[in-house]
């Protein structure tokens, strides 16, 4: 059993700390946010992640998982200290490192014996050495030793517990093989492949992996836009591409772009890192521009389908950036809904989980609905922004009957064209021919 402190109880810290406890370690999750810790002590989970509430409850009841605002005490009582604080994007696009530096300073002030300090936060290359310098400068006892390790996270919101308990790989970067071995042993129960390297390479792996996945998304979205102009079907194109083992099918689903806490922030951060290093990463900058433009494709389709939006009842299904999370960071809805309101549309929005989060981020004037039927009743048009399960399984015949005009604009390609051709809907998706729109353009499909 290892004694672990996790500084930061956000998404990464809370999930990782709870999973470490579940495999038998003693874990203290700590945070400066008193309200967040108070909620956790009451058994309330501040984020939505399937299965996390039950996992937290089990490990607190069995005496392996603890929560506190006394960060210094948690550091002193632990042998391994994980830094899992936020590194939000600054105005310049680089990662804001103030919380990481604050955590490193606190660790130095409370370093009472040898400890391994692990960077779990997504941080620029060179942060490991910077953390080492800050800790060294703030040590009260000069002869106490410590090691710094990079162990980047690769959790996907909505499936984070499964990702942690059976992860693809654990990347461990350190200049001390013994410290790396300790962190490797910590991950042994997670049924994963261990990859060890130096600090800088481990830090770069996180950015390189996320920006490559973002590149795949922007690439297939660009292909989708071409497909619409030449009459091809991006679904078939992506499937044919994915059959090539060198390419693979993952992250080739066309839509309205990536969002969330990682891809937008990490692409901007790596672009900033490359600029600072004297390299113009034109490919990555194009990925970012493509993603920014892609969400506005919905607005083009709306205007094409219904004309002016003033006074139109627009039903919006899904607000979070992806299903199974309430995370609104860089969600397409944050771009599209304000534009709808700006054009004087009446917005009726539904999301099964993210409504409260959305209210904090979106402008006033939105009608929030408790179910899909309420949102679509008398709607002139319906748009899908998040592929929630109840959206994927909704009764299309019933939805069509409730709408004033059965026009569906699907930003996530939830339905196949054959199904929609036999429905009452005029159906528009991403990178595929419109359905039931014969006579309005040459690439319409009307089976």
Q: Is the CB of residue 210 less than 8 Å from the CB of residue 218? A: no
Output phi, psi for 365, to 5 deg. 100, 5
Q: How many C-beta atoms surround the C-beta of residue 303 within 10 A?
A: 12
Query: Any catalytic annotation for residue 262?
Result: yes
Residues in the chain: 447
CA distances to 382, 405, 409 from 378, in Å: 10, 8, 16
Sequential DSSP letters for 400-445: HHHSSS-EEEETT--S-HHHHHTSS-EEE-SSS--BS-TTT-TT-B
DSSP class of 95: B
Q: Which of 30, 164, 262, 369 is catalytic?
A: 262
Sequential DSSP letters for 148-170: EEE----PPTTSHHHHHHT-SEE
Sequential DSSP letters for 200-261: HHHHHHHHHHHHHHHHHHHHHHHHHHHHHHHT--HHHHHHHHHTSTTT-STT---SS---SS
In the block, tokens 């309005």 appear at 440
Rounded distance between C-alpha atoms, residue 51 and residue 54, angstroms: 6
Q: Which residues are catalytic?
A: 262
């Amino acid at each position: 059993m290892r004694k672990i402190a996790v500084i930061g109880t956000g998404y990464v810290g809370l999930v990782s700390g709870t999973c470490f406890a579940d495999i038998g370690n003693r874990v203290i999750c700590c945070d400066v946010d008193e309200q967040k810790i108070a909620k956790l002590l009451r058994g309330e989970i501040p984020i939505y992640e399937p299965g996390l509430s039950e996992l937290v409850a089990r490990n607190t009841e069995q005496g392996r998982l603890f929560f506190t605002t006394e960060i210094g005490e948690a550091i002193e009582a632990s042998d391994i200290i994980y830094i899992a604080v936020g590194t939000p994007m600054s105005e310049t696009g680089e990662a804001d490192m103030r919380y990481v530096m604050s955590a490193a300073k606190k660790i130095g002030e409370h370093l009472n014996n040898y400890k391994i300090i692990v960077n779990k936060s997504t941080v620029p290359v060179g942060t490991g050495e910077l953390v080492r310098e800050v800790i060294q400068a703030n040590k009260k006892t000069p002869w106490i030793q410590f090691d710094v390790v990079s162990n980047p996270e690769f959790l996907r919101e909505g499936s984070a517990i499964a990702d942690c308990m059976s992860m693809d790989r654990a990347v461990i970067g350190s200049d001390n093989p013994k410290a790396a071995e300790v962190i490797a042993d910590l991950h042994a129960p997670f049924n994963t492949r261990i990859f060890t390297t130096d600090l800088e390479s481990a830090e770069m792996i996180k950015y390189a992996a996320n920006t490559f996945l973002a590149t795949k998304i922007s690439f297939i979205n660009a292909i989708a836009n071409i497909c619409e102009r030449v009459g091809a079907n991006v679904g078939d194109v992506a499937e044919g591409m994915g059959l090539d083992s060198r390419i693979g099918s993952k992250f080739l689903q066309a839509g309205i772009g990536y969002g969330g806490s990682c891809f937008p922030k990490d692409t901007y951060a790596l672009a900033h890192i490359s600029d600072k290093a004297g390299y113009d990463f034109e490919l990555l900058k194009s990925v970012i521009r493509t993603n920014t433009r892609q969400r506005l494709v919905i607005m083009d389709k709306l205007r094409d389908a219904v004309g002016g939006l003033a006074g139109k009842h627009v039903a919006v299904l899904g607000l979070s950036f992806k299903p199974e999370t309430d995370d609104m960071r860089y969600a397409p809805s944050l771009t599209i809904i304000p534009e709808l309101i700006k054009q004087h549309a009446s917005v009726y929005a539904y999301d099964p989980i993210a409504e409260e989060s959305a209210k904090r981020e979106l402008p006033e004037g939105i009608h929030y609905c408790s179910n899909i039927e309420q949102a679509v009743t008398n709607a002139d048009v319906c748009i899908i922004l998040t592929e929630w399960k109840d959206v994927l399984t909704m009764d299309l015949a019933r939805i069509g009957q409730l709408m004033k005009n059965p026009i569906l604009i699907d930003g996530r390609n939830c339905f196949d064209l054959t199904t929609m051709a036999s429905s009452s809907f005029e159906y528009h998706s991403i990178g595929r021919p419109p359905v039931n729109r014969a006579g309005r353009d040459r690439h319409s499909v009307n089976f």
